[in-house]
Amino acid sequence: MNDNASFLVLFLAPIKEYLADDKVSEILINGPSQIYIERSGKLEETGASFASEAQLKAAAVNIAKSVDRQLDEMHPDLDARLPDGSRVHATIPPISRCGTILSIRKFKKEMLTMEKLEEYGSVPPDGVLLLNAIVKLRKNVIVSGGTSSGKTSVLNALSGLIPAKDRILVLEDASELQLQQKHCVYFETRKPDKNGQGEFSIRDLVIASLRLRPDRLVIGEIRGGEALDLLQAMNTGHSGSMSTIHANSPIDALSRMETCALMSGVKLPLSAIRMQVASAINCIVHTMRLPDGSRKIVEIAEVLPLENGEYRLRTLLEWKTESVAPDGTVSGRFLLGEAPTFRDAAALTHLELPVYA
């Protein structure tokens, strides 16, 4: 049994077999008698159950106490990282109507690399060449995609392409990234205490990190006003930075960055924010979970200058689904798009790119 299971099984005995199963990536508990797992990218309902709502709630409360957090009627929501890196989110009545809800995203000990993504069929050899050039040329990259599409895993693999000489500052709400480089400095947000004091947000971390001489910033996820601070950092010499954002497409990722920047409270005209987004972000790497549960990088796009105030993208590589079998198996292929504008820069620095027509 791994460390994750050893820690959680004290409170969650009914699901111990799934905690110990390395193929299970997430466990979703919707009340005491409805438990699902995600295995190999697909959700499965299990026959497991807790004896009662009281037993499940007690387990959630004990997990909260074990990480020095509160879960009660005054604090009915818990978002926590366990000592092994696993993520736990819990809600209890009155905000959840069907009893205690618990989600456990298990920590992956295996470090994902570009080579492994290629081996799994998540990215083709041409995609690896493109991504290597993008990172080595210090392009600012946003990894976009839906929930559980593999954004963090792709960000982790991308970070492995950063040269070892660079000083990397990693900022996260809850530590998930496992960078391979030696010169990495990790930061994590802090929730407010029971008196509502002591909070240190991602935005606070971004501002503080700029005083620590970063060569590159790697931010786990953009969700709010920190987007504006990151955009300003990208536009003032901190090139080669990376982050993720929830979005349905590459163009939607730019719109989401714009919306998040507006949440900063800084009163800037939309046109000014849009110009910052278009100039700061150089490339979008879009991920998707396909119907068969597989996760792929379905598009790599370059952000071009605004035209008549509108965003423009150049697709460098994309996945085309050609058929979906009755059992959900997806067949398709990766296709090269247009050549990137940085082709000459790649040639000058002896970085190999795919052969474009």
Residue 357 domain flag: no
Of 49, 79, 105, the one marking the end of a domain is: 105
Within 13 Å of residue 91, how many CA atoms lie on the same side as its CB? 9
Domain assignment of residue 355, yes or no: no
Query: Is 207 part of any domain?
Result: yes
Supply the pLDDT for residue 12.
86
Domain of residue 73 covers 3-105
Token pair 């790119």 in the structure block, residue: 353
CA separation for the pair 204, 260 (Å, rounded): 15
| pTM score over 0.75 | yes
- pLDDT score of 1: 45
Burial 149-180 (b: 16+ CB within 10 A, else e): bbbbbbbbbbbbbbeeeeebbbbbbbbbbbbe
Assign residue 152 the CATH number of its domain. Answer: 3.40.50.300
**Are both 74 and 159 inside the same structural domain?**
no
DSSP state, residue 243: E
Domain boundary (74, 105, 136) is at: 105
Strand order, beta sheet including 24-30: 42-45, 35-39, 24-30, 101-105, 87-91, 77-81
> What does each of the 357 residues of the chain score in pLDDT, given as a tens digit?
444 445 567 778 899 889 888 889 899 999 999 999 998 778 899 999 999 999 999 999 988 888 778 898 888 998 887 777 788 999 999 899 889 999 998 877 677 889 999 999 999 999 999 999 999 999 999 999 998 898 988 999 999 999 999 999 999 887 777 788 889 999 988 877 777 788 888 888 888 888 888 999 999 899 999 999 899 888 887 899 999 999 999 999 999 999 999 998 888 899 999 999 999 999 999 999 998 888 999 999 999 999 999 999 999 999 999 999 988 889 999 999 999 999 999 999 999 999 987
Strand partners, 170: 186, 218
Q: Is residue 251 part of a domain?
A: yes
Scanning 67-145, the segments in alpha helix (DSSP H) are 114-119, 125-136
Burial grade of 116 (CB within 10 A; 0-12, 13-18, 19 or more): middle
Are residues 118 and 77 both part of a single domain?
no
Number of domains in the chain: 2
- On whether both 311 and 166 belong to a single domain, the answer is yes
In 3D space, the residue among 65, 234, 219 whose CA is nearest the CA of residue 156 turns out to be 219
Q: Same domain for 40 and 188? A: no
Residue 315's pLDDT is 97
Dist CA 172 CA 175 (whole Å): 6
Q: What is the CATH number of the domain that holds 64?
A: 3.30.450.90
Q: Are residues 186 and 285 in the same domain?
A: yes
Residue-level pLDDT at 7: 55
